[in-house]
Amino acid sequence: MLKVAFFSAVTLVIHGFWQGHAFAGPIDISTPTGLQAGSQFRIIFVTPGTTNATSSDISTYDTFVNQQAAGATYNGQMIHWSAIGSTDSVGASAHIGVTGAAVYTVSGTNGTNLTEVASSDSTSGLWSGNNLINQPTTDLAGNPYTGLAWTGTSGVGTEYYTDVGGGVMKYWGLGSSVSYPGFDNHIEVGSMNSVVYPSDWVSLGNSNGLQLNTVSYQMYGISDLLTVSGASAVPEPSTLLVSGLGIFVVALARNLRKRNEFSPTEI
């Protein structure tokens, strides 16, 4: 059954989407520990609200995840987000771009405590077919979720499809109107709590992964590339220790030098 969307304290109907519990306020994403000025990274999150998968226009889902991000910022600048999803015209990998940057999720409150999901969002990261470092299961406020997420996507970032026999291919991307006995208008989903196969987070396959497109599920959103500025770079703990030790040594040396100096009145 198609659910209706809620934005703010009163109801607001927008394209049949439903907004779940909202963030307490705009989230300002912190810089991952260890990244130096000039480094780039991306943030992946689970939408707190849900949507159906009837639209074949990927921009519909981009709009949804940006609304769900509730104006999240990095260094005071608003972040643009893309939906991790495939339609008949575009695959998820091509849609979000392959950048080679590390991908993080928010594991704490207010955009802090970032946890690495993949060392890269290229073929060695999100779409490698290997286990992710951590599963993306939280929204931008760090709230955890379990359940299913609309993707329409295979484990390698292309539209999910199956060979139903006789060389006939069926495509199960977002918005596809698939005609197949028992699976009419079904779309591929991923799981936020599956640990059976590495790609289950984005593609559960054709046994459990095909769901009716009018049902409402969450989605994954991923940020554009974020670049660390000099002011926002966060050093490794070891760097902080060495820096602090250096400051202590300099202060101690100055103190000893002053103690060994004599003013004219002391001579």
Do 76 and 183 sit in the same domain of this protein? yes
Please give the pLDDT value at position 39: 96
Cα radius of gyration rounded to whole Å, the chain: 24
Q: Would the CA dihedral through 43, 46, 50, 52 be positive or negative?
A: positive
Residues 134, 225: one domain? yes
Same domain, 42 and 86: yes
Residues 205, 260 within the same domain: no
- What pLDDT is attached to residue 261? 42
Beta strands 40-46 and 102-106, pairing class: parallel
Q: Say whether both 165 and 136 belong to one domain.
A: yes
> Which CATH number belongs to the domain containing residue 73 in this structure?
3.10.100.10
| Residue 38 domain boundaries | 28-234
The number of folded domains in the chain is 2
Task: Please give the average per-residue pLDDT across 122-139, as a whole number.
Answer: 88
* Of 16-30, 151-165, 191-205, minimum mean pLDDT range: 16-30
The model's pTM = 0.80
pLDDT bracket for residue 246 (50, 70, 90) = very low
Q: Is residue 60 part of a domain?
A: yes
- pLDDT at residue 148, as a whole number: 97
Residue 108 belongs to some domain of the structure: yes
Give the other-Cβ count within 10 Å of 228's Cβ: 19
265 and 180 assigned to the same domain = no
Instruction: For residue 210, give both structure tokens.
Output: 């095909």
Predicted confidence band at 71 (pLDDT cuts at 50, 70, 90)?
very high
Whether 134 and 253 share a structural domain:
no
The reply to whether 190 and 250 lie within a common domain is: no
Residue 254 is predicted with a pLDDT of 52
Based on the fold, state whether residues 230 and 242 are members of the same structural domain.
no
Amino acid (one-letter) located at 98? V
| Domain-located, residue 265 | yes
* 104 found inside a domain: yes
Which pLDDT tens digit goes with each residue over 33-58?
Answer: 999 999 999 999 999 999 999 999 99
Residue 139 is given by DSSP the state -
Separation between Cα atoms, residue 207 and residue 197, nearest integer Å: 13
* 104-115: b (≥16 Cβ within 10 Å) or e: bbbeeebbebbb
Model confidence pLDDT, tens digit, residues 180-239: 999 999 999 999 987 688 899 999 988 789 999 999 999 999 999 999 998 777 665 554
Confirm whether 58 is domain-assigned: yes
**What is the C-alpha separation between 73 and 126, in angstroms, rounded?**
23
- What's the pLDDT score for residue 258? 42
| Mean pLDDT to the nearest integer, 237-259 | 45
Question: Is residue 242 domain-resident?
Answer: yes
Residue 57 lies in a domain: yes
Residues 131 and 253 in one domain: no
Do 129 and 250 sit in the same domain of this protein? no
Q: Which residues are within 8 A (CB) of 225 and not within 5 positions of it... i.e. 6 or more apart?
A: 40, 41, 42, 99, 101
Judge if 255 and 149 occupy the same domain: no
Is residue 20 situated within a structural domain? no
The alpha carbon of residue 166 and the mean position of all alpha carbons in its chain are separated, in whole angstroms, by: 38
